[in-house]
Chains A and B, each alone.
Chain A
Amino acid sequence: MLKKLLLVCLLWPALVLAQVHEYRLDNGLKILVKADHRAPVVVAQIWYKVGASYEHLGITGISHVLEHMMFKGTKRHPAGEFSRLIAENGGRENAFTGQDYTAYFQQLEKSRLAVSFELEADRMRHLTLPPAEFAKEVQVVMEERRMRTEDKPTALTYEQFNAAAFVSSPYHNPVIGWMTDLKSLTVDDLRAWYRRWYAPNNATLVVVGDVDPEAVLALARKYYGPLQPSQLIPPKPRTEIEQKGPRRIVVRAPAKLPYLILGWHVPVLNTAKHEEEAYALEVLAGILAGGDSARLPRELVRGHEIAADADAGYDLYARQESLFVLDGTPAEGHSVAELRKALLAQVERLKREPVSAAELARIKAQVVAGKVYEQDSVFYQAMQLGMLESVGLGWRKLDEYPEKIRAVTPARIQAVAKKYLITDHLTEAELEPLPLAAPSHE
Chain B
Amino acid sequence: MRILRLSLVLASLFLLAACAATPPAPSSQVKTGGPRIQAWHTANGARVLFVRAPQLPMFDVQVVFDAGSARDGKQPGLASLVNAMLDQGAGEWDTDTLAERFDSVGANYGASAGRDMASVSLRSLTEPALMEKAVATLQAILEAPRFPRPELERLRRQTLIGLKADDQSPSTLASKAFYRAVYGNHPYAHPVDGTPASVKAITRKDLQRFYRRFYVAKNTLVVIVGDLDRPAAERLAERLVGRLPAGEKAPPLPSVARLKKAKQVRKAYPSTQTTILVGQPGLRRGDPDYFPLYVGNHILGGSGFSSRILKIIRDEHGLAYSAYSYFVPMRVEGPFIMGLQTKNASREQALALLEKTLRDFLAQGPTERELTHAKKNITGGFPLRIDSNSDIAGYVAMIGFYDLPLDYLQTFNSRVEAVTAEQIRDAWRRRIDPERMVTVQVGKGL
Bound CA–CA A372/B124 (angstroms): 10
Count chain A CB atoms within 10 A of each CB in B15, B270, B304 and give the residue with the most: B270
Return B34 CB to nearest CB of chain A, in Å: 11
Closest Cβ–Cβ distance, residue B339 to chain A (whole Å): 12
**If the complex has contacts A11-B19, A136-B317, are A375 and B56 also in contact, measured as CB distance less than 8 A?**
yes
Separation of A38 and B199 alpha carbons in the complex (Å):
45
Distance in angstroms between the alpha carbons of A275 and B266 in the assembled complex:
55
Which residue, B162, B272, B390, has most C-beta atoms of chain A within 10 A?
B272
Specify which chain A residues have a CB less than 8 angstroms from the CB of B269 in the assembled complex. 436-437, 440
Max chain B Cβ within 10 angstroms of own Cβ: one of A36, A151, A256, A290: A151
Are A87 and B303 interface neighbours, CB within 8 A? yes
With known contacts A37-B7, A143-B321, A92–B384 Cβ distance under 8 A: yes
For residues 272 through 314 of chain B, which have their beta carbon under 8 Å from a beta carbon of chain A?
272-273, 303-306, 311, 314
A333's nearest neighbour on chain B, judged by CB, is: B157
Give the one of A90, A112, A332 with max B CB within 10 A: A90
CB of A107 closer than 8 Å to a CB of B: yes
Contact of B377 among A1, A90, A291 (CB under 8 A): A90
B-facing residues in A283-322 (Cβ within 8 Å)? 290-294, 297-298, 301-302, 305, 308-309
Mask for A141-152, Cβ within 8 A of B = 1, else 0?
111101100111
What residues on B are CB-neighbors of A210 within 8 Å?
7
Q: Do most interface residues of chain B lie in helix, strand or loop, or is the interface mixed?
A: helix
Q: Are B384 and A109 closer than 8 Å at their CB atoms? A: yes
Q: A39-B383, A71-B305, A151-B272 are in contact. Are A362 and B103 (CB under 8 A)?
A: yes
Interface residues of A toward B: which range? Answer: 35 or more
Q: A38, B55: Cβ atoms under 8 Å?
A: yes
Most buried by B among A38, A210, A370, A438: A38
Number of interface residues of B (CB under 8 A): 93
B335 at the binding interface (Cβ < 8 Å): no
| Residues of chain B lying within 8 A (CB to CB) of residue A255 | 168
**How far, in Å, is B315 (CB) from chain A's closest CB?**
7
Q: Which residues of chain A are near B318, meaning CB under 8 Å?
A: 135-140, 143
A92–B305 CB distance below 8 A: no
Q: Is B58 an interface residue (CB 8 A)?
A: yes
> How long is the Cα–Cα vector from A391 to B272 in the complex, in angstroms?
35
**Complex interface: chain A residues within 8 A of B381 (CB):** 90-92, 109
Residues of B within 8 A of A40 (CB): 4, 30, 383
A411 within 8 A of B: no
Interface string of A38-55 (1 = CB under 8 A from B): 111100000000000000
Give a binary string over B1-24; 1 marks a CB under 8 Å from any A CB, 0 the rest.
000100110110011001110000
A contact residues vs B (CB 8 Å cutoff): 1, 4-5, 7-8, 11, 14-15, 18, 36-41, 71, 79-80, 83-84, 87-92, 107-110, 112, 135-144, 146-147, 150-153, 210, 254-257, 290-294, 297-298, 301-302, 305, 308-309, 329, 331-332, 358, 361-362, 365-370, 372-373, 375-378, 433, 436-438, 440-442
